[in-house]
A and B are shown apart, each in its own frame.
Chain A
């Protein structure tokens, strides 16, 4: 509180005065106010008395057998009383998964038996008829397409799965929901799922949970076929620059661990060995994208954040887990270097034809890295198989300009569609003057196409209809299905203040341009956390 107006009762200052959390100015303001306000003197006396009462509560020592109980729990490598999320329900789910392995096929069809219902068209307040979602795509465990394969072209509006977090009697649980049913995922730390990515072979889901109580992020890899769960990070910070990046053949996953001291390093997860390896130990490295692979190795863009300009380095990483010394300086073994480029995000065509990349001056605070001056997202086309990440391309937000004081983007979230053409940008943190009526808007999702022929990538016209996200307090995640299809995870305040049961709606958008409103379908479990959705990492070629 910077000043007190007549009639104000500065309860917050009264509270802070008990713990010494007042500045000198605040103390002077409070003293002056107390001198003339009997009500606040009463409040202060009551606050002081309750602090005295609470602080004087009897200290109750723990039971004498606490130490042996803890030691027994550690030695047995499990909790003495199994935590509720590990009770038989989860085991049943894993058993069912094992049965599916025995069948030798992992083929889960799109959400055809899930309850998607068309809730409204943009501009129409009335619900419309239930939509039919027939299965049209399938996944199997065969290797991903090689470099000689035809580029994926088919698109399907329906995701193949979604995470669902439910808090209901008698427990909270996280599940992977597909057309085959719901598989409980026995995570140790509960929280709302905020990001999820399917491996190219469709067998692994990498996902992140945001701790509602802690505000920290845990991430895991989960094998659908047998329920194997591998922790990837624990108790880390969230950042718009964190990505799960699968190699084209799905043999390695690159990701960034952002520790609570804001140090960032790249790690690799090897599904075949179910193990992780640390790739960097510089404390400033982020996983960008894979850029091709051969039989034994893949090339990974790793970006190093710096107070001035960042740089990106293309490293060769093995496709099988081994022991090595993590890089203190990723530049030492790079076969390509791009000064000034941060977080190259290559589209998923084989080979990649476009790369979105950040440029600008970065800064680090207690929440991690962001752009302090001139932060801008660029789209860079491949020329003769290489990208000029540090200087080429055009701005993704075509009409915005970096302002004289350097104000521009601090950050934004970006996602490619599996067709390699569509992309979405959301959670835009623009520090400059907004254009027109609120562009860019951090509450809106911008959906563009590289090849739409307009000569522009994102302008205000590419925003999804405002009605698409009506009622949402936050766009948590955007998954793209190729073509004109997106699935949004939208947090709402439908929990009515019940902090134990966060709510998110999963809505499936069929994007229309011009005067035609978008079609909006909602996954119909009310009052639970629906999403993020999973689309195949690559799309099957059209038959």
Chain B
């Protein structure tokens, strides 16, 4: 007899014990908490928000472990949860403080660019790249980060974003074009 636990959700994954769930989760946290945090940080551009989103991502992941059918697909699965969590958070934030957001202020102060000598300082360079990233539409920013920072293929990005291979290629191209314009504003590319 197969006993299905109260409230289990229909997925293709066989039922496992809570201890097994915890062991799987611990492995995932060990391997992915740092890259997921870094990815989220580049998505939202704020350390405190990134920590909160990463925290929520892993709590959700634990609660949805029964939707993970295969540990080999864990990376895309976790990035997908992180992405949805970050988008939810950004959506809320967008409506809470659209006028006073950091993004808006950055957009209005292109003249505050540091001089050429500052570009050699890694932190300042990061800040300017991040500023350019934050000017992108969220889905452009997401696929660009997944490609260039996380080094995912178009196929892998499609798994995270729920898009076809062709759609990712098109989106990535548009994102690169937009990022080029923003980096030009920052004086980092021609």
Residues of A participating in the B interface, judged by any CB pair closer than 8 Å: 11-12, 14-16, 18-21, 42-43, 45-47, 49-51, 53-55, 57-63, 66-67, 69-70, 73-74, 79-81, 83-84, 167-172, 188-190, 211, 213-216, 230-236, 255, 257, 259-261, 263, 265, 267, 274-278, 283, 323-326, 499-500
Contact = CB atoms under 8 A, between A and B. Distances in A.
A15 B149 CA distance: 15
B148 A50 contact: yes
A64 to B, nearest CB: 10
Given A11-B173, A21-B169, A263-B12, A80 B55 contact: yes
A46 B84 contact: no
A73 B62 CA distance: 10
B120 to A, nearest CB: 13
B10 A276 contact: yes
Contact of A170 (B62, B64, B92, B163): B92
A233 B10 contact: yes
A15 B176 contact: yes
A308 to B, nearest CB: 23
B137 A213 contact: no
B55 A73 contact: yes
Given A67-B33, A172-B91, A276-B8, 7 more contacts: A19-B147, A49-B188, A74-B63, A214-B162, A216-B162, A234-B11, A274-B7
Contact of A234 (B64, B87, B173): B64
Interface centre among A60, A62, A167 (most CB of B within 10 A): A62
Contacts of B148: 50-51, 54-55
Given A11-B177, A53-B188, A275-B7, A58 B172 contact: no
A120 B169 CA distance: 42
A66 B91 contact: no
A57 B43 CA distance: 13
Interface in B122-149: 122-123, 125-126, 129-130, 133, 137-139, 144-145, 147-149
Given A54-B144, A189-B84, A323 B1 contact: yes
A42 B47 CA distance: 35
21 contacts: A14-B173, A18-B147, A20-B153, A21-B153, A50-B176, A51-B148, A53-B183, A54-B129, A55-B149, A62-B38, A63-B51, A66-B33, A70-B59, A167-B91, A170-B92, A172-B91, A233-B10, A236-B10, A276-B8, A323-B3, A499-B138
Contacts of A19: 147, 153-154, 172
Contacts of A259: 11-12, 69
A83 B56 contact: yes
Interface string B45-66: 0010011101110111011100
Contacts of B19: none
A59 B39 CA distance: 9
Contacts of A257: 10-12
Interface string B157-184: 0000111000001101100110110010
Nearest to A278: B4
B138 A66 contact: no
B2 A326 contact: yes
B190 interface: yes
Chain B interface mostly: helix
From B11, B154, B169, B172, residue with most partner A Cβ within 10 Å: B11
Nearest to A216: B162
B83 to A, nearest CB: 6
A66 B51 contact: yes
A50 B10 contact: no
A18 B143 CA distance: 14
B176 to A, nearest CB: 5
A213 B87 contact: yes
A54 B20 CA distance: 38
Contact of A67 (B29, B47, B145): B29
B43 to A, nearest CB: 12
Nearest to A22: B169
Nearest to B163: A215
Contacts of A12: 169-170, 173
B64 to A, nearest CB: 6
Nearest to B175: A15
Contacts of A60: 37-38, 41, 47, 50
Nearest to A324: B1
A360 to B, nearest CB: 25
Given A233-B10, A323-B4, A326-B2, A79 B92 contact: no
A527 B151 CA distance: 38
A324 B1 CA distance: 5
A171 B34 contact: no
Most buried by A among B29, B88, B139: B88
A54 to B, nearest CB: 4
B98 to A, nearest CB: 9
Nearest to A16: B169
Contacts of A54: 129, 133, 144-145, 148-149, 179
B70 to A, nearest CB: 9
B54 A57 contact: no
A171 B9 CA distance: 26
A42 B177 CA distance: 12
B16 interface: no
Contact of B2 (A63, A234, A325): A325
Nearest to B10: A257
Nearest to B3: A323
A213 B67 contact: no
